[in-house]
Amino acid sequence: MIIWIGLAGMLGAVLRYRLGRWISGSLGTAFPWGTWGINISGSLLLGLLYGWHQSASISDGIWVIWGTGFCGAYTTFSTFGYETLGLLGQERYSRAVLYVISSVLLGVASAFAGVWLAA
């Protein structure tokens, strides 16, 4: 099982890196769109997985592999914190506040939406 969690984590980390670079290249870096989009989509996916697991649509193993391995590596709280500090250091206070509030609210809302969609 640990090998599958590691492989899913590797896939999540690589996808996060590639997708984050693509989003930042497309939308620019004045706002951390890459991490923002990845964390929101990862919250939605984790909500879906949780909902499926609670309804016994997926096994414990699939839940752990994809929820812990993939989603754990795909989403990133450390980069969220780093980018928030970067915005504050650049004195972009309104962007930093928008980033924090929208990340938390939309992340939780996306997780709820995932659970609802899985039902």
Residue 78: the pLDDT is 95
89 annotated as ligand-binding: no
Q: What is the pLDDT of residue 86?
A: 97
| CA nearest neighbour of 75 among 8, 22, 4, 28 | 8
76 annotated ligand-binding residue = no
Q: For residue range 11-33, list pLDDT tens digits in order.
A: 999 999 999 999 999 999 999 99
The gap between the terminal CA atoms of the chain, to the nearest Å, is: 27
Mean pLDDT, residues 62-88: 97
What backbone torsions phi and psi does residue 32 show, to the nearest 5 degrees? -75, 65
Mean pLDDT in residue range 75-89: 97
Which of 35, 51, 46 lies closest to 102, judged by CA? Answer: 35
User: Mean pLDDT over all residues of the chain?
Assistant: 97
Please state the pTM of the whole predicted model: 0.93
